[in-house]
Structure 1
Amino acid sequence: MAIDKRAGLAAAQMDLVNIPKLMSHYYRLSPDVNIDSQRVSFGTSGHRGCAFAKSFNEKHILAIVQAVVDYRQQAEITGPMLVGIDTHALSQAAFVTTLEVLSGNAVTARVAAHDEFTPTPVISHGIVRANRAKSKPGAALTDGLIITPSHNPPQDGGIKYNPPHGGPAEGEITAWIEARANQYLAKQLEGVKRLTYALATNTSLIQPVDFMTAYVDSLDDVIDMQAISRAGVRIGVDPLGGAGIHYWDKIAKRYQLDITLVNDKVDPSFSFMPLDKDGKIRMDCSSPYAMAGLLAHQHEFDICVGNDPDYDRHGIVCPSTGLMNPNHFLAVAIEYLLTHRPQWADSLAIGKTLVSSAMIDKVCLELGRPLCEVPVGFKWFVDGLSESTLAFGGEESAGAAFLQRDGRTWCSDKDGFIMALLAAEIVAVTGQTPAQRYQQMVERHGESFYQRIDSPVTPKRKAKFNQLITQSVTCELLGSDTLAGDAITAILTYAPGNQAPIGGVKVVTANGWFAARPSGTEALFKLYGESFVSAEHLEQLLAQAQLMIETMLSA
């Protein structure tokens, strides 16, 4: 994708979404369930869409929340529902709609007191804590809804469901909810129960809770907050206008940390954001263009951190070296945790997605720790984190979580707060930035050259690719038994860590690999590649990978 000439520059008036028009369309436009783009569709992170495109409107939320209520009834989940919300404009509207449906079904909804925003990891942590002691049959378990489209542009909305384990819902659950919600849309919402917001707020079903204090007071369970305080680490934070913006002041006061917010703005149009690589406003904390505002302050602090609007992702900025590649920080975080968490059992595995850097494999091999490689999607780490058999689960897209210092579950969804604070702990304890520690890793294991390429794909080619990967993918089907000059050592269509289908193919050699998979929510084909030889070798590897995919599709 070509980089837009205005990438990294401040947004102009012409870039801003018309918020009143967006809100009007949320309430006034109705989706057509016979049009695929307007149906409820759960990807790896819930349902997302835009009111302008009739893909995220009030009827979607009415149908989805009723479907969630139906699911929890048949699953005998009877405890309260924790409801989180980020700072997107449509999130506020969907939040009200959600409470109307929950109240109409007599479901107790626990929401943040004082109209505070509530990040994804706070909801996950709250669910885990609420259910920790409820192991008896028939216990009233807690689950959650989080209203967020993550780092998507300001005009988008999203909603995701976290069952009682606290993490993203499994595929079979989201498929059930998706089908049920579309049935409600097809029947013009017949069967959906709701109270008006005015009536709902006058019941005892909506319960304000101080989520913030409970979460902040627990942070010392997972991060060595005293070490950060003693070392006086100077931390610069850009919340990117997200749901965690008011948490940082409380964290600083609670643990006596030197934290400075370089941007304290909350604005549903996100007018303060630099433009992303494609010239759009997108709160992507792994993008140097979207993080340009924080990068301008990198020399003023020992470490700088940023997060996306629902705080399930992290961006780490080190002095002089700038924004770290997410893969690099994952490898550093894993190495540090495995050598600085003495209460963690040696049997605990490290979870990575199959498109994350092989540097993680080298770290685990060096330290003699088991590695669990799974398909794309954080949901694959949920069981391991919930059962405390995975010490860490991380995605190449800058999302991760890990266990408490005592080896118990902290949360089972991505947590941008603890990843950001872990970067500060690394500085405090080692006296080195994560970037410096990664460079030492490179000296031991070699340099990684990594790239992802997104390209358009037609429904016909996508369907053929999906059909081919259900069969045995061989060197003959790919048209070669070598990749970029190296012998192919493995061809994977199932993840080695859990034998789940990866929704694509991964081809591995001694010096590199590529993975190809269609997006689950967009008309895009994603190609990932990594080389431990050179940038030129990576270019050769990716070029041959594209030829291999074409050979497959031409078979």
Structure 2
Amino acid sequence: MGIHPRAGQLAEQSSLVNIPELMTAYFMKKPDVSLSSQQVSFGTSGHRGSAFQSSFNENHILAISQAIADYRKDQSIGGPLYLGKDTHALSEAAYQTALSVLTANGIRVRVQTGGGYTPTPVISHAILTHNIKVSPSDSSDGIVITPSHNPPEDGGFKYNSIKGGPADKEITDWIAKRANALLAGELVDVKFFSNNEVMASGLVEEFDYIKHYVDDLENVIDMSAIAKAGIKIGVDPMGGSGIHFWRPLAEKYGLDITVVNNEVDPTFRFMSLDKDGRIRMDCSSPYSMQNLLKLKDNFDIAVGNDPDYDRHGIVCAGFGLMNPNAYLAVAIEYLSSHRPTWSKNIQFGKTLVSSGMIDRVVEGLGRQLCEVPVGFKWYVEGLFEGTMAFGGEESAGASFLRHDGSVWTTDKDGFIMALLAAEILAVTGKDPQTLYEEQVAKYGKPYYKRIDVVATPEQKKILGALDKKDVTQTTLAGEEIASVLTHAPGNNAAIGGLKVSTQNGWFAARPSGTENVYKIYLESFISEEHLAKLETEAKALVDSVLPA
């Protein structure tokens, strides 16, 4: 797909989502549960959809909220539920719907003091800090209402378990099955309150998420080093849920932080268009990040985050926006040598579609690599137990342990990844991009690419269930095939696709959970020409195992 002619420019009025129409669709459209596209389905990060397409409507949230209430009862989870939302228009509507169901089921719900938004990592942090102090029967869990970086018309609903991070497949399958049964039963078993009943229930508890999170940051980031070095930090909240965290953070730790955009607007009219001409709050996209990139030389480090703050974009003065894979590699090397209390045997996590540079860096450090399928849920257990120091995804999301080696969050944390870039510059005197260039000089230059290929639902199903024996060829792009994977080496979990590697290159193919395409990830450590050859042969290999 080519680059849209208006990519990187502000959206025109005619292309902005009609918010009243969107909200009407949320309340008026009803899903047809005989269609799989309109059922509740939890992907790698919760249930997502569009009110316009009847895949994210009031009925969905009524059903999912009741299913979560039923799950909590089944599991004897008796503590308060921590509820957060981002700045998407549908998030506010879904938030009110969820409150009506949760309180009707007798669940105490903790919400931001005075109202407002609560980022994904802040919910994870609140769950974990609560549960460390209480008995199992008083444990808490949480819900984050967000479609992440997706366009303004989308909605998302994510359940975080008592371990603080995205619930595993066993849990989400239970919730989805129950929710779809409730939808099929026309919601007769859903309990819900009116707004007046919610307010009169006494079950909605205000909680100062901002202070609770900000006051603890010095235990995961060297804030004093950043302050002492006087690092100038520019922040573009991109209209997201972390917008009110930066000023208290700067004041508490004496940091030089400038928020370059204070606007919150559910149309996200202030965003520059992504490569396909759509508004998408993707902080890893140079097109979406144009507003901040224009200011890059005004700061030592500039950062952007998506609406729920589980992703990060790092901009270095004189360079520009870092490739997400490159920053992960730098972060791992820095943390490995600047967290002396961490065990030498601790693991560093990456997904199978993240850069091979990470493999080379971790091997060069003499550390242990844990390679898992796509989805941050695969890191939850390791981070929770303190056996995994760092977990990162190629889509610009990561988290890591506290200074003392204990858990910080078990969900992606855009705040700490942004602040880590400033810490790296403060401590080493070099920004992350400069350190990445040093890694390239040592380990070789990677050429990385991701593409989407049109596929039928049948083809996607077959690709997701491939076996290693389905690949019969022995070479790829001029090199002998070293490995064929359908399960991740780090935890033996199914990839839901295929990864084929040679000495200097690899590709991975996996079906999209939301679109009729499959995604191909490619990387060469030789050249752009070799990458192009990888792409051609990867497509041919996948085509050879899929029906026409």
Q: Which amino acid aligns with 1:116?
A: G
| Residue of structure 1 in register with 2:543 after alignment | 550
Match of 1:38 in 2: 38
Helix, strand or coil at the partner of 1:158? strand
TM-score (ref. length: structure 1): 0.98
Matched, 1:120 2:120: yes
The answer to whether residue 324 in structure 2 is matched with residue 360 in structure 1 is no
Query: Which residue is 2:233 aligned to?
Result: 235
Q: 2:453 aligns with which of 449, 455, 478?
A: 455
Aligned twin of 1:132: 132
2-side partners of 1:141 and 1:522: how far apart? 37
Structure 2: distance between partners of 1:254 and 1:107: 34
CA distance in 1, matches of 2:298, 2:281: 22
Task: Tell whether the 8 Å contact from 1:46 to 1:160 is kept in structure 2 after alignment.
Answer: yes
Pairing 1:64-463 to 2, within 5 Å after superposition: 64-134=64-134, 136=135, 138-463=136-461
Aligned partners of 2:147, 2:87: CA distance in 1, in Å? 10
1-side partners of 2:514 and 2:174: how far apart?
17
Larger deviation, residues 37-46 vs 117-126: 37-46
Q: Which amino acid counterpart does residue 28 of structure 2 have in structure 1?
A: R
What secondary structure is seen at the aligned counterpart in 2 of 1:184?
helix
Q: How far does residue 479 in structure 1 lie from its aligned partner after superposition?
A: 4.7
**Who is 2:484 aligned against?**
491
Deviation at 1:199, TM superposition (A): 1.3
Match of 2:216, SS state, is helix
Whether contact under 8 Å (1:479, 1:548) holds in the other structure is no
Provide the rounded CA distance (Å) in 2 between the counterparts of 1:292 and 1:40: 35
Moved over 6 A (4+): none
What do residues 419-466 of structure 1 show as CA deviations (whole Å, max 9, x unaligned)? 000000011111111000000000000001000111221012122323
Whole-Å Cα distance in 1 between the matches of residues 201 and 473 of structure 2?
Answer: 67
- The aligned runs of 1:1-80 (5 Å cut-off) are 1-80=1-80
How many angstroms apart in 2 are the aligned matches of 1:493 and 1:342?
36
Asked if the contact 2:463/2:498 (under 8 Å) is kept, the reply is no
* Residue identity opposite 1:291 in structure 2: M
Matched with 2:495 is 502
Cα distance per residue 1:213-253 (max 9 Å; x no partner): 01000000000000000000000000000000010011110
CA displacement at 1:89 relative to structure 2: 0.6
Q: Using the alignment, how far apart are the partners of 1:324 and 1:315 within structure 2? A: 7
User: C-alpha separation between the residues in 1 aligned to 2:80 and 2:199?
Assistant: 16
Note if contact 1:454-1:525 (Cα within 8 Å) is conserved in structure 2. Answer: yes
For residue 554 of structure 1, report the CA deviation from its aligned partner: 4.9
Q: Separation in 2 of the partners of 1:156 and 1:514?
A: 30
Identity of aligned residues (%): 57
Return the alpha-carbon distance in structure 1 between the equivalents of residues 237 and 15 of structure 2.
20
- 1:65 is displaced (CA, Å) by 0.3
Residue number in structure 2 paired with 1:536: 529
| Partner SS, residue 413 of structure 1 | coil
Match for 1:511 among 504, 507, 525?
504
> Quick check: 2:151–2:278 contact (8 Å CA) kept in 1?
yes
Q: Please give the secondary structure, in 2, of the residue aligned with 1:9.
A: coil
Gaps of 5+ in 2: none
Amino acid in the other structure paired with 2:147: P
What CA distance in whole angstroms lies between the structure 1 residues aligned with 2:464 and 2:196? 48
Provide, for residues 293-331 of structure 1, a one-character-per-residue CA deviation record: whole Å limited to 9, x for no partner.
Answer: 000000100010000000000000111211110000000
What TM-score, normalized by structure 2, do the two folds share?
Answer: 0.99
- Name the Cα RMSD after superposition: 1.0
Give SS of 2:473's match.
coil
The SS at the match of 1:373 is: strand
Deviations 1:338-393, CA, capped at 9 Å, x for gaps: 01001111011001001101111111111110000001100000000000000000
CA contact (8 A) 2:76 2:137 kept: no
Q: Indicate if the aligned counterparts of 2:459 and 2:547 stay in contact, CA closer than 8 A.
A: no
CA contact (8 A) 2:463 2:496 kept: no
What SS does the aligned partner of 1:8 have? coil
What's the CA shift for 1:522?
Answer: 2.1
Consecutive unaligned residues of structure 1, counting only runs of 5 or more, are none
2:34 is matched by which residue type in structure 1?
Answer: N
Give the direction of change, closer, same or farther, for the CA distance of 1:63–1:346 in structure 2 (3 Å limit).
same
Amino acid corresponding to residue 492 of structure 1 in structure 2:
L
Q: Distance in 2 between matches of 1:436 and 1:523?
A: 39
State the shift of 1:520 in Å: 2.1
In the TM superposition, residue 97 of structure 1 has moved relative to its aligned partner by 0.6
Task: Report how many aligned residue pairs link the two structures.
Answer: 548
